[in-house]
Chains A and B, each alone.
Chain A
């Protein structure tokens, strides 16, 4: 038996000094040689624990085996059999807490870089295989119609699965492009938009129709889809799109953004290309981003790329409790973003033009653990200090947009606005013929967990439609 190779192949990345000034992708991906070398590290262990770590059950050892054998079309086929959006997942999944966390080699050394391999295969397929050769053989149409509300990760994965099972699927998307948070939220340098659109096109190639500019709850209701427009089932995957604010003084000053607004302007509306694109964004010279999650990191790194001199991450706990992926926090720090930890805003300060000019912050310290198991941040009395800023981005999380719940009688919602499902394994809501999955059910979570929920709901919708 070959000796175990305990070190993974590094993936090339843009130099931090260079990438801090451009929107090109940070991680450059493996070369074919690097991919093959990494793939051959997989020992094809009999227990295959990596699969259990994957929310969409990709047959990971199988696609890696095909890579090692140099059969990339087969690797792509295995991947797409379980995952309609592999180029996206290979980039934004937190593999370190999922498939890679359970990898057998991880007990002795670095786990197989499954995410990087997934990305390589997906990119190779997109670049080398004509779209028509990728299309799967669809079963005969069942004549059943399914409406999917929202074209983010949950909706796209549900739509792809339901379509592959032979049903007629229409996706309704409120914005002018499909992709949801993949388009408006995650920045170009982490997830190029052309790649998102290529994967959306793959979903369309399965026969899925996508209706843009369609706000369900306004243009038509869930009940109208079911009772007047002839849909047999509805899947709600509208995500968690409502930004939370802090309710501290000064929050409505000019220059104070929600992360959703800032990122939507930059990513969806391409404000980084203003004035070629018409939507502007203010960046200023000194930017404070409030929060410690991936969205905070994305906002901070966008602000830096748009020309801010100084960008702070303001987080009320310590680095250990930060919810952002380790890799993204490190990327941000490498690029020069300064973390002000154990710090929390007391109020935002404005000038006579209503523009934010600074913020008054508290120093915090960690007390006893709270419900989440993390140590609760407590204000240090008398610790107030000021920071000069000209833009603030509030990245404290999002909750589901209430529109769907408010216009769909018979849905059950929690006090956080999330939709209740009777069983996580099926995504069934208490309302007949209505399923839900992704952030609308869980509150803000990951792309892959939403995709997993979409897939599970698709299987149950199929079972239901076949009676």
Chain B
């Protein structure tokens, strides 16, 4: 059993969980993920880590309520336990002194890009972070990300805070100005796809963190198959980071929809049971 040391509601429907997992905390690196399971009947879901404290032995993840499992997580509190929390899994994000790096985070991926931005900055990079969300009330960790970066640009789709528009717009402007050595984009697949499409004409290497459906997360099942440069890869062990210019985005998006009917059935039933 793994204890929730702290649960914090960051914005509506987005929660932070600090989990007591000393073994994971010792080894985890930016860009890696964990797999958790709430209880005996729960599914295994992968979550990229948002932080850790090696001394305290804790690992932090941020969860947005989407389906049954994430809503069930949302109902847990500090002091509760979950049955499984395994990691660190996947290959860490490659940290190097590239020069100037643009880190683009969409939605609740703001949480997972922070340790990456921080590591890049510590490695000597000038880090320009772009954080975007649909509207102001979905933004969090503005100060935290500002501190992890050399420069911070904020975007909202509806213009309620920061720049009005999609994150691809400031990204494009920065690329047009030149001097960008690398882009890292993390968020919903569709956002990562368009960030990669934006940077491709400029020939700037763009790392993305893919989030296909997984079961075990250790290379055993192949559920997370993605196509990169025409070659099938397992995102759990070969990734989750890949070259965004080589990812077959349509395949990823289609495979993510594999269980839409089942997910809806499960969620409807859960909601009926809990009167949500």
Contacts and interface: CB of A to CB of B under 8 A. Distances in A.
Interface size class of B (residues with CB under 8 A): 35 or more
B27 A401 contact: no
Contacts of B76: none
Interface in A235-291: 241-243, 245, 247, 251-252, 254-255, 257-258, 260-261, 264-265, 269-270, 274-280, 282
A184 B221 CA distance: 10
Contacts of B24: 219
Contact of B215 (A214, A247, A261, A402): A261
B143 interface: no
Contacts of B43: 269, 277-279
Contact of A401 (B83, B89, B218, B259): B218
11 contacts: A174-B216, A214-B23, A218-B87, A218-B88, A219-B87, A241-B220, A243-B220, A252-B225, A274-B266, A402-B219, A403-B218
Given A220-B27, A252-B225, A261-B222, A215 B86 contact: yes
Prevailing SS type, chain B contact patch: mixed
Contacts, number: 115
B218 A278 contact: no
Nearest to B86: A213
A264 B216 contact: yes
A380 interface: no
A254 B215 contact: no
A353 B89 contact: no
Interface residues of A, number: 41
Nearest to B269: A275
Contacts of A31: none
Interface of A: 174-176, 184, 212-215, 218-220, 241-243, 245, 247, 251-252, 254-255, 257-258, 260-261, 264-265, 269-270, 274-280, 282, 353-354, 401-403
Interface string B35-46: 001000111100
Nearest to A242: B219
B258 A264 contact: no
A401 B221 CA distance: 11
A280 B89 contact: no
A258 B221 contact: yes
A355 to B, nearest CB: 8
Interface stretch (B95-103, B105-113, B165-173, B249-257): B249-257
B216 A175 contact: yes
Given A260-B220, A261-B221, A282-B258, A252 B41 contact: no
Nearest to B267: A275
B232 A353 contact: no
B259 A278 contact: no
A180 to B, nearest CB: 10
Interface in B63-81: 68-69
Given A277-B41, A279-B215, A403-B237, A252 B221 contact: no
Given A254-B258, A274-B266, A279-B215, A176 B84 contact: yes
Contact of A279 (B44, B83, B220, B257): B44
Contacts of A241: 218-220
Contacts of A275: 262, 265-266, 269
A280 B232 contact: no
B227 interface: yes
B223 interface: yes
Nearest to A221: B27
